[in-house]
Structures are given as structure tokens and as C-alpha cells.
Structure 1
Amino acid sequence: MLKKEKIDRINHLAKKSKQEGLTEAEKEEQAVLRKEYIENFREQFKGHLNRMKFVEDLSEEELARLQKENEEIRRANAKAQREQEHLEQSGEQLQEKAEEIYDKNRQN
């Protein structure tokens, strides 16, 4: 899940874009934040779908196959979580850089 600060920043940039326009740096920041938001949404949605269960009578072979698939999904989710944490760290660094640029532009 995206941090509240990032969502607030996305909303701020959207509002500013409609009211007065964005600088090139802000447009780039907005694109990065939107991409991160969409990727995060998709991962969460996939997670919800993966956790859905349909109940029916299964053979031993089907049950074993499903258990194996579930384990693979758990591993993939763990990997995605690690990647998401890395993206969040990168995004925070980008946001800090964008805020520095934004502050410099405001001062000029």
C-alpha cells in the first residue's frame, strides 16, 4: 500500500495541474507517482484474487497441484513485497529530489 504522503502528493499535483499547471519536474514526479500507484494497485488486486477460494470436492492429485500452486504464489508474493519495498525506497528518494527541485523553482 502506498504511504499517505505519496497519495497526498499525487492529489496535490493533480489539483495543481488543473489550477495552474505543472513544471517539467513536477510532471515527471507525477508520472513516477502514478506509475507506482498503478503497480501497487495491480499487485494488491492480484493478491486478493489469489486468496479467493472456491470450494468443491477435489481429488488427491488436484489438491496436491493446488497446494503446490499456492506455495509458488506465496513465494512470488514475498518477492513482489521485497520489490515493492525497494520501489518505495526509490520513490521516496525521487520524491525528496523532486521536492528539492520544486523548492528551488519556487524560490526563483
Structure 2
Amino acid sequence: MTLKKNLSVFFIFSFIVLGTHNANSQTVIYDSISKQKVALIDVRKTYERVIDKGYASIEMFEYLGNYYYKDKDFQKSKLYFDMLFKKYKLSQISKKSIDLYKTL
């Protein structure tokens, strides 16, 4: 992997781990079988916070664009797809995201 990709992965992992401490983006429940705590992390909120702080990746923009498209929030979907297509080359973006963007 390239240095740029390694840094992206590092930042994504770091902010996901740091984001688990925010009560707004996670819910703690107890597993019914093992009776251990399990944290349910809201990936959407975590990715949005990471992007707001200036860190981003293709995967984050695609995830958010696809998430909001499926949720029928086409305005937010277009927002994240616009960011994706402005920042990255067409050859780097998945065919699914390209197809969804064309429908907006």
C-alpha cells in the first residue's frame, strides 16, 4: 500500500476508535449470551465527524452517499457524492457510486 493509503487507513481507524468514546455515536448493550458489554457504533455519525475535521477517504464519501441514497435523503447523498467526485478521479470511484450519482 502507498503511504497516502496507509495514512488514510490510520486516520480512519484512529477516529473510529476515538469516536467510540462519544455517547452520541454509540450505544452500549449487553450481549444476551455472553453477558458482556457490546458497543454499537453509528458509522454514519463517526464518518461525518471525521470528514468535518478535514480527514476523508473514498470509502467514507461512498458510504455516506450510498447510505443517504438508500435512506431517500437525496440532498445529503448528492452532497457527499459531490465531494467524492471533486476530490477523487473517476477511475478510483466504484461503479455503483457512479451509477447512483448519475440518478441524482
Query: TM-score of the superposition, structure 1-length normalised?
Result: 0.28
Structure with the higher fraction of residues in helix conformation: 1
Q: Which has the higher contact order (CA 8 A, sep 6+)?
A: 1
When Rg is computed on C-alpha atoms for both structures, the one with the higher figure is 1
Query: TM-score of the superposition, structure 2-length normalised?
Result: 0.29
